[in-house]
């Protein structure tokens, strides 16, 4: 687990958002908010500041805004390695990520209301 209150990237939530983006290799704001247990507005604010700083990039896929680490960021390789290392030790986050469904359900499949 990440050290409680780790503020390596400013705040513990900002650090957790970056680690989750790295471990997921691409995600969207509502998924991050749900995984981290924070309000969507908080995640949106963090993502906006990270994108302004060119640490992450976003693109629209249909109506969904996907975010990922910016491969053109000057310290991408180092940041990528650091976030991966932080994620390796956050077993709680790894458990929540493993439980996430990463592909859409088949259309018409029973079980969803």
pLDDT at 79 over 90: yes
Question: Is 21 contained in some domain?
Answer: yes
Domain count, the chain: 1
Q: Which domain holds residue 48?
A: 12-98
26 alpha carbon, distance to own chain's centre: 7
Confirm whether 88 is domain-assigned: yes
Condensed to tens digits (0 to 9), the pLDDT of residues 38-55 reads 999 999 999 999 999 999
pLDDT-derived band of residue 98, with 50, 70 and 90 as boundaries? confident
Residue 27 within any structural domain of the chain: yes
> 105 lies in a domain?
no
Q: Which of 66, 71, 92, 97 is nearest to 12 (CA)?
A: 92
**Domain-located, residue 81:** yes
Query: Is 6 a member of any domain?
Result: no
In a domain, 74, yes or no: yes
């Amino acid at each position: 687990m990440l050290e409680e209150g780790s503020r390596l990237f400013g705040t513990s939530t900002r650090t957790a958002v970056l680690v989750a983006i790295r471990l997921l290799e691409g995600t969207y704001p509502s998924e991050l908010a749900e995984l981290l247990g924070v309000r969507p507005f908080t995640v949106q604010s963090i993502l906006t500041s990270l994108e302004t700083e060119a640490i992450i990039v976003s693109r629209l896929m249909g109506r969904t805004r996907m975010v990922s680490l910016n491969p053109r960021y000057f310290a991408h390789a180092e940041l990528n390695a650091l976030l991966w290392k932080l994620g390796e030790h956050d077993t709680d986050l790894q458990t929540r990520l493993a439980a996430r469904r990463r592909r859409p359900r088949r259309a018409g499949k029973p079980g969803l209301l």
